Amino acid sequence: MVSNPEIMSPFEDIRPYYDTEVNQAIRQIIDHPMLKAMMNFTFPDFQDSYWKDLMLHCHSIRDFQINFIYPGVKKVLEKSSEGLSTSGFEKLEASTSYLFISNHRDIILDTSLLNASLYEKGLFMTTSAIGDNLVKKPFLNHLSRLTRNFTIKRGLPARELLESSKVVSAYIRHSLLRENRSVWIAQREGRTKDGNDLTHKGVLKMISMASDEGEHFLDYLKRLNVIPVSISYEYDPTDILKMPELLAKANQETYIKAENEDFKTLLSGIIGQKKRIHIHIGDLLNDKIEYIKNTVSGNVKQMQALADLIDNQIITGYKLWPTKYIACDLLSGTDQFSSEYTSEEKALFEARFRRGVDKNNPVAVKSFLSMYANPVLNQKRLLEEIKN
């Protein structure tokens, strides 16, 4: 899994740091106030000299993740959640690299929690995709590269976007097939705002660009060991922050992000209350991909069938917390799912709802409740389709 930094990498603009670069990168951020705030949160009982001395002796990404990021994630879980549960990790083999295609709810936590779980289970942590819009500030760029993220460039003109996509695709291939390092990528660009976890075919097309000449894209994807991942938060700590964009969409208006909106969302995701969290590892898709290749005609239809397959795994693997059922009943004005939650849980959800949403605005009410209810409705629809 060691790359040779002496040879200029074709991935220079997007790659994480090499281990040989880690210590120098740390020295560039060691006195940054944001790093101090992070470490004071992670190590509240120690003086700054404790973590600074440890960090200055750090010479690899793995050491940085294990000694500083992992304890920070554990502290986040302790302070702003009621715990993380997992399922499906027993399917993973320690010596195999996987392409984890995941639903995406939180900018930082989705990958941080997956990697914490992989580490605890003795599995290699991933290299993870992150939008370059999130790492514009030098400190965040350093931190991102120190936690084995690779950047995906956003907002490029068509020609530059194509070239950038080819580089990202080649990097994903390099990580999986040359370095035997698993990769995490979201099923779509940006986080899901409305609770509908749907795979964008553009993501699959981008990944497929690095297939060998003459190789069927489905055969190539089988080599990458695609596994869908579902992450579910009982409470979305950024639910209220998503409302302006949801309202703009409902009113068919163009939404323009406010300055520092991404950073505010990032921070809220980390410190906001999440209650319970669950990560589910789906099935290796190789057999089903082969079935699609043999039964579906044409690349366009095959790509759609693959997107549907990933969606179905993510939707069925999604843990439905009481908040999701409460939102369904409030949305429909019934008590259809009342057996799935307590009156206390409902009162807590309604109190949060009242604080953040104008109940006199029917569009706002529907948008907020749908954010929580859609996973239930989608799972129910899928099960009915399977039954029929």
Closest to 63 in 3D by CA, of 175, 184, 180, 146: 146
Going through 57-200 in order, the beta strands assigned E by DSSP cover 81-87, 99-102, 127-131, 149-152, 183-186
Alpha helices, H only, 174-285 = 201-208, 217-223, 243-250, 261-271
Domain count, the chain: 2
Least confident of 13-22, 75-84, 254-263, 306-315: 254-263
Same domain, 304 and 353: no
Read off the amino acid at residue 366.
K
Q: Which residues touch 110 (CB under 8 Å, ≥6 apart)?
A: 102, 104, 184, 186, 231
Same domain, 345 and 225: no
Closest to 372 in 3D by CA, of 322, 303, 304, 315: 322
Distance, CA of 259 to CA of 307 (rounded, Å): 33
In a domain, 156, yes or no: yes
The answer to whether 290 and 222 are in contact (CB under 8 A) is yes
95-114 burial by CB neighbour count: b if 16+ within 10 A, else e?
eebbbbbbbbbbbbbbbbbb
Least confident of 26-30, 153-157, 275-279: 153-157
pLDDT of residue 237: 84
Same domain, 305 and 332: no
Least confident of 65-69, 201-205, 383-387: 383-387
Mean pLDDT (whole number) for 108-129: 96
The overall average pLDDT reported for the chain is: 92
Distance, CA of 273 to CA of 233 (rounded, Å): 10
Mean pLDDT (whole number) for 7-19: 90
Q: Which residues touch 26 (CB under 8 Å, ≥6 apart)?
A: 55, 56, 58, 64, 146
Longest CA span, the chain: 65
Mean pLDDT (whole number) for 218-234: 98
pLDDT of residue 72: 95
Query: Which residue, 265, 284, 319, sits at the end of a domain?
Result: 319
Mean pLDDT (whole number) for 233-238: 90
Distance, CA of 237 to CA of 107 (rounded, Å): 11
Distance, CA of 187 to CA of 133 (rounded, Å): 18
Query: Which residue, 277, 302, 319, sits at the end of a domain?
Result: 319
Closest to 149 in 3D by CA, of 118, 177, 185: 185
With a cut of 80, say whether residue 388 has pLDDT above it: no
In a domain, 26, yes or no: no
pLDDT of residue 379: 95
Same domain, 339 and 276: no
The answer to whether 132 and 154 are in contact (CB under 8 A) is yes
Place of tokens 């997956």: 114
In a domain, 25, yes or no: no
Same domain, 282 and 334: no
Going through 68-215 in order, the beta strands assigned E by DSSP cover 81-87, 99-102, 127-131, 149-152, 183-186
Q: Are strands 183-186 and 226-233 parallel, antiparallel or unpaired?
A: unpaired
CA 345 distance to own-chain centroid = 27
Mean pLDDT (whole number) for 331-338: 96
In a domain, 350, yes or no: yes
DSSP bridge pairs for 150:
129
With a cut of 80, say whether residue 332 has pLDDT above it: yes
pLDDT of residue 353: 87
Same domain, 209 and 86: yes
pLDDT of residue 242: 78
Return the higher-pLDDT residue of 207 and 253: 207
With a cut of 80, say whether residue 244 has pLDDT above it: no
In a domain, 27, yes or no: no
Same domain, 290 and 355: no
pLDDT of residue 4: 53
Query: Which residue, 319, 354, 375, sits at the end of a domain?
Result: 319
With a cut of 80, say whether residue 76 has pLDDT above it: yes
Please give the structure tokens belonging to residue 159. 């020609």
Domain of residue 339 covers: 324-387
The CATH number assigned to the domain holding 189 equals 3.40.1130
Band the pLDDT of 73: cuts 50, 70, 90: very high
Please give the structure tokens belonging to residue 30. 């060691």
Same domain, 306 and 357: no
Closest to 103 in 3D by CA, of 267, 310, 262: 310
Return the higher-pLDDT residue of 87 and 267: 87
With a cut of 80, say whether residue 311 has pLDDT above it: yes
pLDDT of residue 262: 65
Backbone angles phi, psi at 330, to 5 degrees: -65, -35
pLDDT of residue 384: 87
Mean pLDDT (whole number) for 341-367: 91
Mean pLDDT (whole number) for 101-126: 94
Write the pLDDT tens digit of every residue in 119-164.
Answer: 999 999 999 999 998 888 899 999 999 999 999 998 899 999 999 9
In a domain, 168, yes or no: yes
pLDDT of residue 241: 78
Mean pLDDT (whole number) for 301-312: 97
Same domain, 337 and 302: no
Please give the structure tokens belonging to residue 63. 């050491």
Same domain, 314 and 334: no
In a domain, 260, yes or no: yes
The answer to whether 144 and 133 are in contact (CB under 8 A) is no
The answer to whether 140 and 132 are in contact (CB under 8 A) is no
Distance, CA of 59 to CA of 220 (rounded, Å): 35
Same domain, 219 and 90: yes
Same domain, 173 and 278: yes
Please give the structure tokens belonging to residue 23. 């210590």
In a domain, 298, yes or no: yes
Distance, CA of 233 to CA of 277 (rounded, Å): 5
